[in-house]
Amino acid sequence: MNTGSNEPPVAQATEGAAGETKPEKPFGSRAPEFVKARRALHLSWQVGVFIVGLAVVVVGIIMLPLPGPGWVVIFCGMAIWATEFVWAQLVLRWTKRKVTEAAQRALDPKVRRRNITLTVIGLVIVGALAGVYLWKYGLEMPWKINDQ
């Protein structure tokens, strides 16, 4: 991320669950010092981290329509990228903040009551449709297994 300055961005403190503030890890590369000291080695390190992270993210994207923990694998790939790239660190921090906010909203009693009400209404509708199907067709399945 080019901010027009040669100095790395400063990490901000975050507020924890109990209200205490804890400093976040600083932005930038987490490569070993001997790797960062040599420009060519650091560049090849970054290329390797990018390729490994890209492979993990692609596998996660493939898992989205297929069985498997697609989103978890995608975020693992982002975490691999975040060890080296500031933009990935910023994306992960933003995602973590949004997930925490959503979890707090889900714990709100009004939201929980609304979700429970919507679930009950959905189950009643599904039960009514199943009842209508059974009343009209009985337990006969729509395919003809006995004819074969």
Q: What are all long-range contacts of 3-11, with beta carbons under 8 Å and residues at least 24 apart?
A: 8/86, 9/86
Amino acid present at 72: V
pLDDT, one tens digit per residue, over 100-124 is: 888 888 788 888 899 899 999 999 9
Q: Between helices 39-63 and 70-82, what is the axis angle to 10°?
A: 170
pLDDT, one tens digit per residue, over 55-84 is: 999 999 999 998 888 889 998 998 888 888
The structure's pTM equals 0.53
Q: Measured between alpha carbons, how far is 39 from 47 in angstroms, rounded to an integer? A: 12
- HSE at residue 1, side-chain half, CA atoms within 13 A, is 17
